[in-house]
A and B are shown apart, each in its own frame.
Chain A
Amino acid sequence: MALQSLDIIRRSATTTPPPGVRQTEKLAKLIDISKCIGCKACQVACMEWNDTRDAIGHNHGVLDDPMDLTENSWTVMRYSEVETDRGLEWLIRKDGCMHCADPGCLKACPAPGAIVQYSNGIVDFHEENCIGCGYCITGCPFNIPRLSKKDSKVYKCTLCADRVAVGLEPACVKTCPTGAIVFGTKEKMIQHAEERLVDLKERGYAHAGLYNPKGVGGTHVMYVLPHADAPSLYHGLPDEPKIDFWVAFWKGAAKPIGNWLLGLVAFAAFLHYITVGPNEADEANDKEPEHAGGKP
């Protein structure tokens, strides 16, 4: 949703600098999985703040519901029952947009200004510019954006860009009863995470760590993971997310190569025409039945 307009650092499908007269601090949301109790209050707060409502669905043999992110559910809890060296663990992860520093969705988007990145790090969809092609879905390393069946626009967590713009924390942060979700400058969030890691390591989680993956330039939504050596334990959180090779090629090298190719073809034709000249049949000697190079 569009609210901020002076502090945009990246704008989809735009080759000129975006408006960036105002620069803000880098912000981040930190989700401490070791404190999360999977109560889904964040799901409710998200729907309430954004005034979206998913359909009343079905039970699918698990506690997850809605089963997946949708245009109305911008965050869902993912529950994984895993056996580790500590015995049974029920790993619960709040899934949603990670707000990558190097956002694959924005890179993939062909519609100018449909996806922007603010200087605070929030990656925001401006649905009024969205054309519904779904390229962002292809570009996202975390499988987050969802295309609405109703309006064919793509929706995802905005990190409550509207609230943050006026100095509030995101709705999920405000509602989280255990303080598992915290929000602040990215620097402070990293510090906070480090304190948490000391506690977790004392409790025997030797591989506890911060999930702030380098492959996408770091993220503005980070996780404290008790098992940071195996992020995929957490319902398939990518171990090493990065913008996919094909997406990078298509939105990287392919663009200049393609344009140059067409330009070159056109230029070659032009050169050819002005050097070789038009190829005309000799209408004057039309009666001549023979053709010099022809075979009988």
Chain B
Amino acid sequence: MTNHWVDIKNANVIIVMGGNAAEAHPCGFKWVTEAKAHNQAKFIVIDPRFTRSASVADLYAPLRTGTDIAFLGGVINYLLSHDKIQHEYVKAYTNASFIVADGYKFGEGLFSGYDEATRTYDRSSWAYEIGPDGYAKIDETMQNRRCVLQLLKSHYSRYTPETVSGICGTPKETFLKVCELIATTSVPNRTLTFMYALGWTQHSVGSQMIRTAAMVQLLLGNVGMAGGGVNALRGHSNIQGLTDLGLLSDLLPGYLTLPRENETDYQAYIAKRALKPLRPGQMSYWQNYGKFHVSLMKAWYGANATTGNNWCYDWLPKLDKVYDVLQVFELMAQGKLNGYVCQGFNPLGSIPNKAKLIKAMSQLKYLVVIDPLATETSCFWENHGDYNDVDPAKIATEVIRLPSTCFAEENGSLTNSGRWLQWHYKGAPPPGDAKPDADIIAGIFLKLRELYRKEGGAFPDPILNLTWDYAIPHAPAPEELAREYNGKALADLTDPKDPTKVLMKRGQLLDGFAQLRDDGSTSCGCWLYSGAWTEKGNMMARRDNYDPSGLGSTLNWAFAWPANRRVLYNRASCDLQGRPWDPNRKLVYWDGIKWTGADVPDFKPDSAPAEGMSPFIMQPEGVGRLFALDKMAEGPFPEHYEPFETPIATNPLHPRVISNPAARVFRDDLAAFGTSKEYPYAATTYRVTEHFHFWTKHTLLSSILQPEQFVEIGEELAKEKGIRAGDLVKVWSKRGFIKAKAVVTKRIKPLKVNGTTVYHVGIPIHWGFKGIARDGYLANTLTPFVGDANTQTPEFKSFLVNIEKA
């Protein structure tokens, strides 16, 4: 979240799209209720299904699954053509006025630089025009034909209400009603907030869907504002924490990145990431990359990391490619990866195309599963009839199950969607032999180190020299790990302006990442988390909800990264003079001497407005990007691409480029995609409120509330297929079938799309062949093995199936 849960109450218009907050985030949803009850907020839900969120919405707009970019692109077109944008904000705080280099172009569904053979773009043409001074060129009048605003207008001029309605199936009047409500927030004192979740991320164009929403918010001047922003609702209690510590396989903690195999030179590695400002007077905060990186290496390798060995740079793995889950299982299926450690993860349920996964795991030599539950993954070799039709005699994989604790059985911090690190305490001892994950990993590490010590090996250094100074080596305490990620001074830190002044004594815990150095005098396991456990104690355990501004900015409640900041980019909530756009949303302001306010300013605290520093300090150009430069794999402007399995078999915008040309897809898997002829119905998977993922089918209460697998279909499709509510139905895709009870509902309506009628089949996940709820099929038996081009997140939300009464 750019903002945080409590902040939702400040919104005037709330859009839940690509998510279903009421069902999947019922506790956080209280802030939507609050905004409606006490802020007269209007609540809009845009979803293929009339969800439980929609049941309390002021306006519901149906759309076909996978067409969110078309919808939001239409919104951008509406805002631009009706002049409903926050002009001052757009001009000063976005790259609307920046001039794009000549090489960039878009036509027929493709941006410049596409290579069909590798399915990738050469992104070098997606750039600003750079002046002789080394800065990007801008046109303050924004009339230049090559400036971002003009390119934006032209790009989205194709997304007319009629086109949107034709692609999305949303009735035109409903679409326009949504646009009108959104447009009301283009004034400085009204805000819109977007709440989304896996309904956006789990598409082959997921990242671009989110970006489109961010662009809408930039145009409306809603980023950085209380009650604004783009807000990702995270699914697991600590998935934000995992993301921050390096969820993606090419990330290091704190969104630092692993080097690629061609990056053998340390200085070049740092230089590429420590970006210089692209406009005069800008902060370009990533210039500090080196400080974060060196401190991380010091945390890992301590005294072994020196300037002499480039802080152990050579010990870091250099990626030849991204090892996302799809890649890993592809390698496994090819027999090129033969051991797998699976921690807190149930890939058999969570990765698409179960048949491929079974094939892949059957080829492993060993599979280690660290989990509190007996997951399907750990039992993939068991025969469970139709639910898991395998022959154990033919599977030689050795499966080792290491029981771990669950969150309630250990101390620790959970990072919520709003970036708050909240400390929690052990509620009960773990059952049986279960151990905390840290203990299990420590045990494996110590054993490995011993083997390396005894037997040597190809490359023992990174293991032998890893800092492991925990009080009990086989049981690192959560408190120790927290202090490690906070960081400490390894030597006395003196004031750079006055070397006689000691700011931090050797060994002291740091106050925040501003104190990090790139000379090896600080260590920090995750720069973003620095400040979480200081000399004052555990900041994450704070529980004072005093809220002087009334905006929910409770700075003494837990710790929010970065630097206890509650709303990111909050400098943008003020005008150029440093006065809040809306006096009732006074998050921060310039008091004449410094930036101050209810929140921690996301800005250089002493930079006077007159100095002209722009609010988006992480960007070299200091402004929000309507044009994404080379940061996105499939283009600088989001473009509507159909799901890889599309029910309309074409892309009405450009029939020759139907789906995301840069998406993660392997050659063999392309063959496993179905066509709308054989599989005429648009399917989407999702969660229901009664269950949490594949966990709660192991708990009695949740299993009582939703005991048995079901799929949802509209009354019209049910009638056509002769299916009655409660019937057992078979749903199959090109990859497999499931059988489940049919819930027949008015809440999934047929949509008129591109001249045809599209029916949706809703497939809740949650069931499997382990647990105490009634046995069911893993929904990922059906889903396609294709992922987003940037995050490689699989396309669980849009694919094709057929359905019959079983």
A touches B (Cβ under 8 A): yes
Cβ of B701 and Cβ of A83 under 8 Å apart?
Answer: no
B396 CB within 8 Å of chain A: no
A55 CB within 8 Å of chain B: yes
B549 to chain A, nearest CB (A): 22
Q: Which of A42-50, A106-114, A152-160 contacts B (4 or more CB under 8 A)?
A: A42-50
A90 touching B726 in the complex, CB below 8 Å, given contacts A39-B689, A58-B707 = no
B347 to chain A, nearest CB (A): 26
B83 CB within 8 Å of chain A: no
Name the A residues within 8 Å of B745 (CB-CB).
81
A55 to B772, CA, bound (A): 11
Cβ of A56 and Cβ of B725 under 8 Å apart?
Answer: no
Name the B residues within 8 Å of A56 (CB-CB).
700, 703-704, 707, 772-774
Cβ of B741 and Cβ of A58 under 8 Å apart?
Answer: yes
Q: Give the most central of B27, B727, B744: most A CB within 10 Å.
A: B27
Name the A residues within 8 Å of B741 (CB-CB).
58-61
A88 touching B726 in the complex, CB below 8 Å, given contacts A44-B705, A53-B701, A58-B741 = no
Select from chain A the residue with minimum beta-carbon distance to B37.
Answer: A199
A290 CB within 8 Å of chain B: no
Cβ of B56 and Cβ of A61 under 8 Å apart?
Answer: no
Name the B residues within 8 Å of A180 (CB-CB).
33
Cβ of B37 and Cβ of A35 under 8 Å apart?
Answer: yes
The majority secondary structure among interface residues of chain A is: loop
B30 CB within 8 Å of chain A: yes
A87 to B772, CA, bound (A): 39
Select from chain A the residue with minimum beta-carbon distance to B58.
Answer: A203
B541 to chain A, nearest CB (A): 24
Select from chain A the residue with minimum beta-carbon distance to B38.
Answer: A199
A90 touching B704 in the complex, CB below 8 Å, given contacts A37-B29, A39-B22 = no
A69 to B94, CA, bound (A): 56
A39 to B705, CA, bound (A): 10
Q: Give the most central of A66, A87, A90, A196: most B CB within 10 Å.
A: A90
Cβ of B52 and Cβ of A59 under 8 Å apart?
Answer: no
Select from chain B the residue with minimum beta-carbon distance to A82.
Answer: B746
A39 to B702, CA, bound (A): 11
- The 8 Å CB contact of A90, one of B706, B707, B747, is B747
Cβ of A178 and Cβ of B58 under 8 Å apart?
Answer: no
A81 touching B746 in the complex, CB below 8 Å, given contacts A57-B707, A90-B52, A196-B37 = yes
Cβ of B55 and Cβ of A38 under 8 Å apart?
Answer: yes
Name the A residues within 8 Å of B22 (CB-CB).
37-39, 178
- The 8 Å CB contact of A58, one of B33, B34, B708, is B708
Select from chain B the residue with minimum beta-carbon distance to A58.
Answer: B708
Cβ of B746 and Cβ of A88 under 8 Å apart?
Answer: yes
Cβ of A65 and Cβ of B26 under 8 Å apart?
Answer: no
A36 to B22, CA, bound (A): 9
Cβ of B33 and Cβ of A178 under 8 Å apart?
Answer: yes
A180 to B32, CA, bound (A): 12
Select from chain B the residue with minimum beta-carbon distance to A40.
Answer: B705
Cβ of B707 and Cβ of A65 under 8 Å apart?
Answer: yes
A62 CB within 8 Å of chain B: yes
A92 touching B52 in the complex, CB below 8 Å, given contacts A37-B29, A39-B26, A59-B707 = yes
A81 to B60, CA, bound (A): 15
B709 CB within 8 Å of chain A: yes
Cβ of B33 and Cβ of A65 under 8 Å apart?
Answer: no
- The 8 Å CB contact of A61, one of B37, B690, B743, B772, is B743
B737 CB within 8 Å of chain A: no
A58 to B725, CA, bound (A): 13
B300 CB within 8 Å of chain A: no
Chain A interface residue number, banded = 35 or more
Would you list which residues of chain B between 687 and 724 have a CB under 8 Å from chain A?
688-690, 700-710, 724
Cβ of A66 and Cβ of B29 under 8 Å apart?
Answer: no
A179 CB within 8 Å of chain B: yes
Select from chain B the residue with minimum beta-carbon distance to A60.
Answer: B726
Select from chain B the residue with minimum beta-carbon distance to A83.
Answer: B746
A19 CB within 8 Å of chain B: no
B586 CB within 8 Å of chain A: no
CB-CB contacts of A95-113 with B at 8 A, as 1s and 0s? 0000000000000000000
B203 CB within 8 Å of chain A: no
Name the B residues within 8 Å of A66 (CB-CB).
704
Select from chain B the residue with minimum beta-carbon distance to A34.
Answer: B56
B23 CB within 8 Å of chain A: yes
B222 to chain A, nearest CB (A): 23
Cβ of A37 and Cβ of B26 under 8 Å apart?
Answer: yes
A41 CB within 8 Å of chain B: yes
B785 CB within 8 Å of chain A: no
Cβ of B705 and Cβ of A65 under 8 Å apart?
Answer: yes
A54 CB within 8 Å of chain B: yes
A61 touching B742 in the complex, CB below 8 Å, given contacts A39-B689, A203-B58 = yes
- The 8 Å CB contact of B50, one of A38, A48, A90, is A90
B697 to chain A, nearest CB (A): 10
A83 to B747, CA, bound (A): 11
Select from chain A the residue with minimum beta-carbon distance to B705.
Answer: A40
A240 CB within 8 Å of chain B: no
Cβ of B690 and Cβ of A202 under 8 Å apart?
Answer: no
Name the B residues within 8 Å of A34 (CB-CB).
56
Cβ of A39 and Cβ of B23 under 8 Å apart?
Answer: yes
CB-CB contacts of B344-362 with A at 8 A, as 1s and 0s? 0000000000000000000
B53 CB within 8 Å of chain A: yes
Name the A residues within 8 Å of B724 (CB-CB).
61
A25 CB within 8 Å of chain B: no
Cβ of B58 and Cβ of A59 under 8 Å apart?
Answer: no
Cβ of B54 and Cβ of A90 under 8 Å apart?
Answer: yes
Name the B residues within 8 Å of A58 (CB-CB).
707-708, 741, 774
Would you list which residues of chain A between 114 and 166 have a CB under 8 Å from chain B?
none
Cβ of B56 and Cβ of A177 under 8 Å apart?
Answer: no
Name the A residues within 8 Å of B52 (CB-CB).
37-39, 90, 92
A63 CB within 8 Å of chain B: yes
Cβ of A89 and Cβ of B55 under 8 Å apart?
Answer: yes
A59 to B743, CA, bound (A): 8
Name the A residues within 8 Å of B27 (CB-CB).
177
A178 to B746, CA, bound (A): 25
Select from chain A the residue with minimum beta-carbon distance to B704.
Answer: A54
A198 to chain B, nearest CB (A): 10
Would you list which residues of chain B between 1 and 55 have a CB under 8 Å from chain A?
22-23, 26-27, 29-30, 32-34, 36-37, 40, 50, 52-55
Q: Give the most central of A34, A41, A59, A199: most B CB within 10 Å.
A: A59
A35 to chain B, nearest CB (A): 5
Name the B residues within 8 Å of A48 (CB-CB).
701
Name the B residues within 8 Å of A54 (CB-CB).
704
A117 to B701, CA, bound (A): 30
A278 to B448, CA, bound (A): 111
Select from chain A the residue with minimum beta-carbon distance to B740.
Answer: A59
Cβ of A41 and Cβ of B707 under 8 Å apart?
Answer: no
Name the A residues within 8 Å of B26 (CB-CB).
37, 39, 41, 177-178
Name the A residues within 8 Å of B33 (CB-CB).
35, 178-180
A54 to B23, CA, bound (A): 22
Select from chain A the residue with minimum beta-carbon distance to B743.
Answer: A61
Name the B residues within 8 Å of A87 (CB-CB).
60
A47 to B744, CA, bound (A): 28
A91 to B747, CA, bound (A): 12
A56 to B54, CA, bound (A): 28
Cβ of A59 and Cβ of B708 under 8 Å apart?
Answer: yes
- The 8 Å CB contact of A178, one of B30, B688, B773, is B30
A37 touching B23 in the complex, CB below 8 Å, given contacts A53-B700, A63-B688, A65-B706 = yes
A44 to B727, CA, bound (A): 27
A61 touching B726 in the complex, CB below 8 Å, given contacts A39-B52, A89-B55 = yes
- 5 examples of A-B residue contacts, CB within 8 angstroms: A40-B690, A57-B707, A63-B743, A89-B55, A178-B22
Additional A-B contact list (17), CB under 8 Å, known A53-B704, A65-B704 = A34-B56, A36-B56, A37-B23, A38-B689, A39-B689, A41-B26, A44-B702, A56-B772, A59-B709, A60-B725, A60-B726, A81-B747, A90-B50, A178-B29, A178-B32, A180-B33, A203-B58
8 closest cross-chain pairs (CB), A and B: A61-B725, A61-B726, A37-B22, A90-B55, A59-B708, A59-B741, A39-B26, A178-B33
